[in-house]
Amino acid sequence: GEISNGGMLYHEVQESKLCAVHCVNTVLQGPFFTEFDLAAMASDLDQTERQMMMQGSVTGDFLPELSHNVSLGGDFSIQVVEKALQVWDLQVIPVDSPVAGRAQVDPETENAFVCHLQDHWFCIRRVNGEWYNFDSLYAAPEHLSKFYLSAYLDSLKGFGWSIFLVRGNFPTESPMSSSNDASSCYGQWLTPEDAERITKSSNATTLRVVNGRGQQQQEDEDLKAAIAASLLD
């Protein structure tokens, strides 16, 4: 699952509600998909579900005019994220399923995790032996120590996040720019040093911001403080 990319980290900063696109691309570490690709997959999945409904093999509250796989606001379902990653021969497994095995105890033995809560998706990924949080709400990938990784995933679970691990043959090379320029406008390549510098400076600024993402930032800070305290016990 190691990726070369000359030691660079691929990060996408949040664009409208495209966090599922950012999540998939940071798992793959490159500008592989656009929102149009994911929308087409959502439409295929909806089509399949409708056919199953008509054949009576699925029952439920399926309303033909509503999509189960993309909301009006542009949020994609786990099925779409799974389908996009399957294109690259990657499996998405809930971390609490028996198949996950050791990942529950030793997450650092894996390569990537996908985290989902309500309408936000993000990826935590190992690149060149180091773990990073590629949350698209962050200005740059945030480095996570192996020790912190496990505590962080546990605390996300505690806050109600769904966590999935991604297994399979990750692409080892990525197009440094996509054939479709639509996705490269929010994607960027950073060295680990650049990422650290941006993270430090954005943390310093965001702490001063009380509106906007101030609330989320405060929760992040509270979470970090709680984890730090638990590590001292």
Q: 2 and 130 in contact (C-beta within 8 Å)? A: no
Q: Give 172: exposed, middle or buried? Use CB within 10 Å, 0-12, 13-18, 19+.
A: exposed
Choose, from 11, 19, 22, 46, the residue flagged as catalytic.
19
Spatial distance between the Cα atoms of 96 and 164, rounded to a whole number of angstroms: 8
115 catalytic? Reply is no
Strands 130-133 and 120-127: antiparallel
194 catalytic? Reply is no
135 catalytic? Reply is yes
Choose, from 22, 115, 123, 135, the residue flagged as catalytic.
135
CA distances from 119 to 66, 67, 115 (A): 17, 15, 11
Choose, from 11, 23, 120, 123, the residue flagged as catalytic.
120
Phi-psi domain of 70 (left: phi exceeds 0; alpha: psi -120 through 50; beta: other): beta
Kind and range of the H or E element at 12?
Answer: strand 9-12
List the catalytic residues. Answer: 19, 120, 135
